[in-house]
Amino acid sequence: MTVRTRIAPSPTGDPHVGTAYVALFNLAFARSQGGTFVLRIEDTDQVRSTKASEQMILDSLRWLGLDWDEGPDRGGAFGPYRQSERSEIYRSHVEILIEARHAFHCFCSGERLDELRQAQQQRGETQRYDGHCLALEPGEVQRRLAAGEPSVVRMKVPESGVCRIDDLFRGVIEIDYQQVDMQVLLKSDGMPTYHLANVVDDHLMEISHVIRGEEWINSAPKHRLLYDYFGWAPPVLAHLPLLRNPDRSKLSKRKNPTSIQYYRRMGYLPEALVNFLGLMGYSMADGREQFELSDFIAAFSFERISLGAPVFDLEKLNWLNGNWLRGLSDGAFADRVVQWALNRDQLMPIVPLVRERTERFADLIGMTGYLLGDNRELTSDSFAELSMEQEAVLEVLQFTLWRLEQVPDWERATLVDCMTSLAGALGVKIRALLGPLFIALSGRPVALPLYDSMVILGSDVTRARLRDAIDVLGGVSKKQAKRLEKRYRGLAAAE
Ligand code: GLU
């Protein structure tokens, strides 16, 4: 069999370390088998997908050395590799399913579906579509379509029975069809959902092994049904264990920096980060902890994957990165520092902020330390200069953090809007919010302009510093968190 693997990231935010982790295993398996590794962009969510995010994903993976053989930027024999450019393919495939009565048009309104969900929830049942539109006569369907009534296309799911999924790492997994929803395949805007596009593309791109995160196991029955409906042989399925926070919850940006950009900004070596990801749910046969990507590929075997929850432990990553740094020659070390931050690309966004404030280049070191590095030496005393109770400072930092988790893009104007509306909701002057933020981000009461600093630091570094500052101030107890959450929800409701 010709091995073809793929990663299929959705360009809806910062490039996630989980994407790099899945990419690493797909790449290693493909390379170890003399196969091909494909990168496909799953941008069917037109509202949340952005070009900027796509570009960052490509840049980050390339920085890590996780290069692909076929993809939107490289082309290949199975393109296009961006789902938004494949609409016609999905539409024609949906037609095949409708013809064969494996899929049907559904005209149910949002309100009806909400009511259905609520009623099922109250009865403690699995929330799923009740098949209402399955009963429509073909003539009526044609009439309503011709009249331009909005509709989606859903897939049929057997009423009863069990779906058996063969997972390479777990063996057979059984899922009751009763738990499987009659998934929407084509949305009312004519775009496919993930499930349809993913199956059609994996088949047409001749993907032999689908290696992806464990969170997709529940989607596997829908995919399996689609393969059967089309009469296609499904690929080998392998679900990798999810990365975890140290408290074993699913790795999330609420608790840990998750963007590859963060690790790049903070001066981790790409080879160290890849090495670290290679230790997630995997161990080398000889127990080695430090290895190059090429060694990982040469020794790669699915047998060495373990399903226990791999913890994304920053202390371990720091230790490993330190080892890698110590292994560099002096010359290489200096070169890598230049590549990291002391280069034109990194300095350009900072120059407009500092040039009016600088008399000698030597001034730059102190002024920009918090933007380039991470050595802020923040303590609770750092906040003492503010004429604010500690409790109030904590509240500002926590509310800001929650707000910033919601911002759709990390643009200056969006950040200004976000903070202005938070100040408005709290009924305070914007200055009252900015004081604690300056200190949390820079360690100093006065720094370079705040919003520009946030843009330069990026979303993950900014959020990580806010979380740090909250910790430095003693953290938020469970009880406090409850009270803060209640007040925060109240603010959102009042807006
Ligand atoms: N677009 C999905 C994601 O963002 C792909 C999941 C899969 O690999 O099937 O993770």
| pLDDT tens for each residue of 199-255 | 999 999 999 999 999 999 999 999 999 999 999 999 999 999 999 998 889 998 777
Tell me which of 21, 27, 81, 216 to substitute to probe ligand 1's pocket, judged by most ligand atoms within 8 Å of the beta carbon.
Answer: 216
Amino acid identity, position 405: E
Residue 161 Cα to ligand 1 middle (Å): 27
Determine the Cα angle at 227 with ends 195 and 152, to 5°. 40
CA dist 234 and 285 (Å) reads 31
Specify the pairing of strand 4-7 against strand 36-39: parallel
What does the pLDDT read at residue 358? 93
Atom from ligand 1 closest to the CA of residue 202: 9
Residues with CB under 6 A from ligand 1: 8-10, 42, 194, 198, 212, 216
Instruction: Tell the residue nearest (CA) to atom 3 of ligand 1.
Output: 9
How far, in Å, are 45, 54, 57 from residue 39 at the CA level? 17, 11, 10
Given CATH 3.40.50.620, say whether it is the number of domain 4-84+243-318. yes
* Distance from the first to the final alpha carbon of the chain: 58
Residue 401 Cα to ligand 1 middle (Å): 27
Burial string for 396-421 (b: 16+ CB within 10 Å, else e) reads bbbbbbbbbeeeeebeeeebeebbee
Residue 103 Cα to ligand 1 middle (Å): 23
CB atoms inside a 10 Å sphere around CB 119: 12
> Burial, 124: exposed, middle or buried (Cβ in 10 Å; 0-12, 13-18, 19+)?
exposed
Atom from ligand 1 closest to the CA of residue 194: 1
Q: Identify each DSSP E strand in 32-149 by its residue range.
A: 36-39, 103-106
pTM reported for the whole predicted model: 0.91
Instruction: Tell the residue nearest (CA) to atom 5 of ligand 1.
Output: 8
Query: From the centroid of its chain, how far is CA 413?
Result: 23
- Residue 4: in which H helix or E strand, if any? strand 4-7
Residue holding tokens 């060495």? 304
Q: 57: which residues sit within 8 A by CB, 6+ positions away?
A: 9, 11, 15, 19, 41
CATH topology agreement for domains 4-84+243-318 and 86-240: yes
Residue 215 Cα to ligand 1 middle (Å): 9
Instruction: Tell the residue nearest (CA) to atom 6 of ligand 1.
Output: 8
CA dist 240 and 376 (Å) reads 37
What does the pLDDT read at residue 406? 84
Q: How many CA atoms lie within 13 A of 457 on its CB side?
A: 27
- Per domain, the residue ranges of the chain are 4-84+243-318, 86-240, 380-494
Residue 225 Cα to ligand 1 middle (Å): 18
Specify the pairing of strand 103-106 against strand 152-155: antiparallel
Show pLDDT as tens, one digit a residue, over the chain (495 residues). Answer: 799 999 999 999 889 999 999 999 999 999 999 999 999 999 999 888 999 899 999 999 999 999 999 999 999 999 999 999 999 999 999 999 999 999 999 999 999 999 999 999 999 888 899 999 998 999 999 999 999 999 999 999 998 999 999 999 999 999 999 999 999 999 998 999 999 999 999 999 999 999 999 999 999 999 999 999 999 999 999 999 999 998 889 998 777 889 999 999 999 999 999 999 999 999 999 999 999 999 999 999 999 999 989 999 999 999 999 999 999 999 999 999 999 999 999 999 999 999 999 999 999 998 999 999 886 688 888 898 888 888 889 999 999 999 998 887 889 999 999 999 999 988 888 888 899 999 999 988 778 899 999 999 998 899 999 999 999 998 888 888 888 888 888 877 766
What is the torsion angle, in degrees rounded to the nearest 10, for the CA atoms of residue 442, residue 443, residue 445 and residue 449? 0
What does the pLDDT read at residue 126? 85
CA dist 304 and 322 (Å) reads 26
Atom from ligand 1 closest to the CA of residue 213: 8
Tell me which of 5, 7, 10 to substitute to probe ligand 1's pocket, judged by most ligand atoms within 8 Å of the beta carbon.
Answer: 10
Residue 468 Cα to ligand 1 middle (Å): 31
Q: If you ran DSSP here, which 8-state letter would residue 251 be given? A: P
CA dist 441 and 472 (Å) reads 13
Burial string for 316-341 (b: 16+ CB within 10 Å, else e) reads ebeebbeebbeeeeeeeeeeeeeebb
Residue 169 Cα to ligand 1 middle (Å): 18
Q: Which residues are catalytic?
A: 253
> Burial, 259: exposed, middle or buried (Cβ in 10 Å; 0-12, 13-18, 19+)?
buried
Given CATH 1.10.1510.10, say whether it is the number of domain 380-494. no
CA dist 259 and 248 (Å) reads 19
Q: What CATH number belongs to 86-240?
A: 3.40.50.620
Tell me which of 4, 26, 195, 198 to substitute to probe ligand 1's pocket, judged by most ligand atoms within 8 Å of the beta carbon.
Answer: 198
Tell me which of 21, 42, 183, 226 to substitute to probe ligand 1's pocket, judged by most ligand atoms within 8 Å of the beta carbon.
Answer: 42
Atom from ligand 1 closest to the CA of residue 42: 1
What does the pLDDT read at residue 284? 94
